[in-house]
Structure 1
Amino acid sequence: MSTVATVAEASHHLEPLISDLGLILMTAGIAVLIFKKLKQPLVLGYLIAGFLAGTHFDFFPSVSDVKSVEVWAEIGVIFLLFSLGLEFSFKKLMKVGGTASINAMTQIITMVIVGYLVGQWMGWRQMDSIFLGVILSISSTTIILKTFDELGVKSQKFAGIVIGSLIVQDIVAILMMVLLSTVAASQQFSGMELLQSVLKLAFFLTAWFVGGIFFIPTLLKKAKPLLTDEMMLIISLALCLMMVILAANVGFSPALGAFIMGSIIAETTQAEHIEHLVKPVKDLFAAVFFVSVGMLIDPTTLYTHAWPVAILTLVVIFGQSISSIIGALISGQPLKQSIQIGMTLAQIGEFSFIIATLGMSLNVTSDFLYPIVVAVSAVTTFTTPFMVKMAVPFSEYLEKKLPRRWVKRIARYSANAQAIRSVSTWQIVLRAYMSQIIIHTIIITAIILLSSKYLLPLVENYKFGNPIAALITIIIIAPFLWALALRRVAVKEVEILFKERKYRGPIMMMIFFRMGLALFYIGFLLNIFFSPIIAFFALVTAVAIYFFYPKQLHRQYHKIESHFLKNLNTRDEVSIKRRYASLTPWDGHMTTFQIAKESNIAGKTLEELRIREEMGINIAFIKRGEIMVKIPTKNERLFPGDEICVIGSDAQVKEFDNYLHQHEFDPPKNVKKAEIVLQQLELKRDEFVGKSISQSKIRERTNGMVVGIERGGKRLLNPESNLILEKDDVLWVVGDKKRLNQFFKE
């Protein structure tokens, strides 16, 4: 009888959860069908479904247990962020470049300030205003990507910059969630606490990323033959929830842990497969999350705060657009693309909901903020497709109405901002040393803290427990200490700078600083496990052993680094192999070469070089910075620093290697390096009009090359030398900066 009673009691408690979930999914399903038919964003349908299923709408069945729905919603946030992480990778962030970063940061900083000031102007509390500023600063990745798919503009250049900006915004949103939690806990702005939070976040992000990339791809690769789709899904979700628990224990939000684990798995070769497996789970719980957001919409609150909703909607549409346009212009984008970027980012979405939810869970925001944010998001979701469509006509209208000199200045600034500039040798050395110090400092600190927290308590009660624990820890961190103190980086650049007296002092200071830092960490470790006196003698012994086995430490570190880089780059290498596998002949193989800075074949087209005709070599692709030129045509030029992938037999590849070396020359000594830039030249002088490019002698007079011509609103890339120049043509010339400036002044 007791068993039957227990089962009956359990079913009684389970029934509201099942009925509520059934009601949510039923209303969500109906909303999906209706909004799909109306060709409107599904997120909006989920919000309306939540409003209908909520307790504020009496003409529809309502959920009975709101608390259980909140639990489902928290799970939905975790899987939503995990899925966003799978679509994001840290290498993508590195490739985003300055344009998207400048645009995103300009928009975020501007909107945080504007949102805070608007909140204060409306008489809201300070904490409401702070959260409002952050909420209004983040655009919606989901809505924008959906709009791009529907309008078919994802391949356009502005869309790539928008997606890059969204990546930066997502990272900054995670950071701001951590900072908001700190501010909410202390109820005041403390510069030191905020700095500590930022440093803590940077430390754990780096440690988690390095550790995750080192272990997780290897785990998935080793287990791949044993894993079915079901097991792969379970392991992926287990890894996600493990990182969620870890993030929560450290003091961060669970959403951050889910996002980090998603971004780590995004670097593995199974990323696309895992993303495909997780998608149904994500869609299910994301629907529950957005429906739960809609349940909080209170018509009475919206009616009472109709004016704030209207004001904030206008603030989002105009504020986001204008700040993004300014950011894009500052980063050097043309006027048309800047307007397209700005008008696309004019909405708020899923991260705004998550941040608003954070404010409610911390009990620091007012009840009216959440439904107002949802209402503003709903309106701006509707307006997004129209804003994207209107961007081009509006930019054309603006170009006609703005003063001509303004348009010319914007165009010239854009050209100069996108000019090709070389990075100085000192910058390369400084960047290499700073990367070496920061990464290894974080790794060593993380290992020491883990050892002191988990290993030391296990052995400290035994007679030789502390020495054994200290020895194990030193053995683990020894390769990283060697790399921090003695590993040579940017070798060629350091040798070049060391020949100049003014750089010798700074370089020696950086070398001694690295050695001193390594000694500090050895002392820091030993001080944790021993008394200061014993730690000093142990330090001397450890340093002696440390310098006695440099080759073994170098070998061990090289093995660790190779394993990490292999895991980090395997996905890219596999994708390249898949992309060009069909190009590889049976008796040939693919080899990558780099065009040297001193090579005299740079600047020539493939047709002029006749590589294929002379040596039988085929070029599969050319990698130029962030750009990949696939299957280049005969008119494609080679530039210094280009990485070219060639296909040929062993003999052909060897012949090509000799060919590259034969065409390299030693640069003359004591000659200042020329700065190569890309500049515009508008033809106003009659001496050029009616002549061909070769007859104009522009190449000889500027020591440059005409790489493009704008004529009547159309652009022609790589024009032939016999092309006749016309009045008002805009020439794009690559050449020596001084020679170009001198030529423009003539």
Structure 2
Amino acid sequence: MGGAFVAAAVLARLGARIGLPTIPLFILAGILLGPNTPGFVLIEDAHDLEMLSALGLVLLLFYLGLEFHVDDLRTGGKKMAIAGAMYLLLNVGVGFAFGLVLGWGLSEALVLAGVLGISSSAIVTKVLVDLGRIGNPETKPILGIIVVEDIFLALYLAALQPVISGSEGLAGTMAQIGKAFAFLLLLAVAARWGTTYIGRLFRIKDDELLVISFLGAAVLVAGIGEQFGVADAIGAFMVGLILGNTTSGERIRELVHPLRDAFAAIFFFAFGLSIDPGVLPAVLWPVLAAVAITITMNIIAGLVTSRIYGFGPGQTANVATTLLARGEFALILATMAAAAGLDDRLSPFIAGYVLILAVVAPLVAGRSYWLAKILPGSRPTRKADAAAAAETDAGETGAGETDADEGEPVSANR
């Protein structure tokens, strides 16, 4: 574990010198020091870091919930639901169609629908934090889409497992979906009406006790959620949503930062350990086709979201590129597919697809102003280009951001 932390830190510091984001470097460290590449092997089995990796994902989504306010759901819930539904319709639908075109089988197509259709919550959250875009106007719909995806994920997994394994009939599938939905409903009720009462339990003056309390709550609810068929990420997110709206919310945000950053590094390092780049050549062309399709559909989804919210090209580009990454969920599907005895080409395909997008997406998101220049409504003038560049530069430093269309400063700490 110490070697993993040091390796991640060294590569991240080297990357910072040349302006690279940390996510692909953490993943690269895991790939280079794992069992799937020649040379020195730091960790033989990715499962050795499984618990720490899970904690990293929980903390990332817990922090995302802290930044997402209940008022956002009340005032913009309809728009977020529409934007999230459209994103899923476009990406999941095309993913399923792509699976059918490959001709690997119906069950395989159902798996690919989720692989191509659902973003990586962990990478999206880390990109927003690293680029200082948490306070940007377009971040609300991005978070809204992630929330809708995670809710869909809980129901999708509940339905997919018995379908691909053939272990349960319709009644068993519906019972599993019902359990997942009931748990989500319970958390939603707590977020809507229980904040005041829960806030009293976390009105703690001592920082040490507050850290232990919110960390215990996030991990416990995430674990209980898994027992009900709900992804641990959505359980942690809901705890963050609830605690972020209490009187202790601001202190919790400050206290969780070092924990979030440390364990997120381990999450991405372990993510790299699980990827074998050697399997990519066997499925190279399907992988490249899937990457091209995903990029295209994310641009279309960004345009649809921006139409709903009235965003300009700069914000449209941020939406499209931030949601591009695929990650931890796709690898879960690869494991499920292997256990169910599906087509042998599925696992290497998913590994290659995830590797490319997990590395490329953060790089593209940091340079979204390139895309903004060619989107509808952009003004190809020096003034517009300068405004777009200022937007990204300000976001990367976390000091603030400039709207690429209007040139008005937007606080990064709103």
TM-score, scaled to structure 1: 0.45
263-272 vs 372-381, greater mean Cα deviation? 372-381
Q: Is the 8 A contact 1:240 1:257 kept in 2?
A: yes
Hey, what does 1:163 align to over in structure 2?
140
- Supply the distance in 2 between the matched residues of 1:256 and 1:107 (Cα, whole angstroms): 18
Q: Identify which of 184, 194, 213 aligns with 1:205.
A: 184
Hey, what does 1:109 align to over in structure 2?
89
1:298 maps to amino acid? D
Hey, what does 1:373 align to over in structure 2?
354
Higher RCO (Cα < 8 Å, 6 or more apart): 2
- Supply the distance in 1 between the matched residues of 2:50 and 2:270 (Cα, whole angstroms): 7
- Supply the distance in 2 between the matched residues of 1:219 and 1:154 (Cα, whole angstroms): 25
- Supply the distance in 2 between the matched residues of 1:232 and 1:85 (Cα, whole angstroms): 17
Q: 1:222 to 1:66 in 2, by over 3 A?
A: closer
- Supply the distance in 2 between the matched residues of 1:346 and 1:144 (Cα, whole angstroms): 6
Aligned pairs for 1:173-184 within 5 A: 173-184=150-161
Task: Please list the CA deviations of residues 431-459 of structure 1 after superposition, one character each: whole Å capped at 9, or x if unmatched.
Answer: xxxxxxxxxxxxxxxxxxxxxxxxxxxxx
Mark the runs of 5 or more structure 1 residues left unpaired by the alignment: 1-20, 401-712, 716-746
Q: Is the 8 A contact 2:158 2:177 kept in 1?
A: no
Hey, what does 2:331 align to over in structure 1?
356
Q: Is the 8 A contact 1:137 1:320 kept in 2?
A: no
Hey, what does 1:23 align to over in structure 2?
3
Q: 1:332 to 1:244 in 2, by over 3 A?
A: closer
Give the deviation of 1:241 after TM superposition: 2.7
Q: Is the 8 A contact 1:82 1:240 kept in 2?
A: yes
1:112 maps to amino acid? V
Aligned pairs for 1:319-358 within 5 A: 319-329=297-307, 331=308, 333=310, 336=313, 339-340=316-317, 343-345=320-322, 347-349=324-326, 352-358=327-333
Q: Is the 8 A contact 1:139 1:166 kept in 2?
A: no
Aligned pairs for 1:161-240 within 5 A: 161-187=138-164, 199-211=178-190, 217-218=196-197, 220-221=199-200, 224=203, 227-240=205-218
Aligned pairs for 1:407-426 within 5 A: none
1:206 maps to amino acid? L
Aligned pairs for 1:666-677 within 5 A: none
1:276 maps to amino acid? E
SS of match in other structure, 2:41: coil
- Supply the distance in 2 between the matched residues of 1:83 and 1:152 (Cα, whole angstroms): 14
Give the deviation of 1:396 after TM superposition: 4.7
Hey, what does 2:247 align to over in structure 1?
269
Give the deviation of 1:230 after TM superposition: 0.8
SS of match in other structure, 1:367: helix
- Supply the distance in 1 between the matched residues of 2:108 and 2:48 (Cα, whole angstroms): 26
SS of match in other structure, 1:305: helix
- Supply the distance in 2 between the matched residues of 1:378 and 1:26 (Cα, whole angstroms): 20
1:178 maps to amino acid? L
1:183 maps to amino acid? L
- Supply the distance in 2 between the matched residues of 1:334 and 1:219 (Cα, whole angstroms): 36
Q: Is the 8 A contact 1:240 1:258 kept in 2?
A: yes
Hey, what does 1:246 align to over in structure 2?
224
Q: Report whether the alignment pairs 1:291 with 2:269.
A: yes
- Supply the distance in 2 between the matched residues of 1:143 and 1:251 (Cα, whole angstroms): 22
Identity, % of aligned positions: 22
Q: Is the 8 A contact 2:61 2:125 kept in 1?
A: no
- Supply the distance in 2 between the matched residues of 1:186 and 1:141 (Cα, whole angstroms): 25
Give the deviation of 1:201 after TM superposition: 3.7
Hey, what does 1:383 align to over in structure 2?
364
2:92 maps to amino acid? V
Hey, what does 2:55 align to over in structure 1?
75
Hey, what does 1:635 align to over in structure 2?
none
Residue correspondences, number = 376
Give the deviation of 1:50 after TM superposition: 0.6
Tell me which structure has the larger Cα radius of gyration: 1
- Supply the distance in 2 between the matched residues of 1:223 and 1:338 (Cα, whole angstroms): 36
Aligned pairs for 1:10-49 within 5 A: 21-49=1-29
- Supply the distance in 2 between the matched residues of 1:114 and 1:341 (Cα, whole angstroms): 22
TM-score, scaled to structure 2: 0.77
